[in-house]
Amino acid sequence: MGFRKVRLDLRETTRLTFTVPARDLSAWSGGGWNLVPGRYTVHAGRSSRDLPLQRVVTV
């Protein structure tokens, strides 16, 4: 996991793009890492206690 700080003025918007490695969506099973298909919700905000933005992605 990682993070990046982006500062915006009031009412300013921007688009962020990032890549989630397949292993971050994998589980250890059968002696190796296996990608777990499904729906994942990605959250963004000021801190882990303030995550007002979210997007659902399907793998």
Residues 3-51 pLDDT 10s:
778 889 999 999 888 888 888 889 999 899 999 899 999 888 888 899 9
Q: Distance of CA 28 to CAs 1, 32, 40, Å?
A: 18, 5, 18
Cα separation, 34 vs 59, whole angstroms: 12
pLDDT of residue 23: 87
Tokens of 46: 């000021």
Q: Residue 41, exposed/middle/buried by CB under 10 A (0-12, 13-18, 19+)? A: exposed
pLDDT of residue 2: 63
Report if pTM > 0.75: no
* Tokens 């300013």, residue located: 12
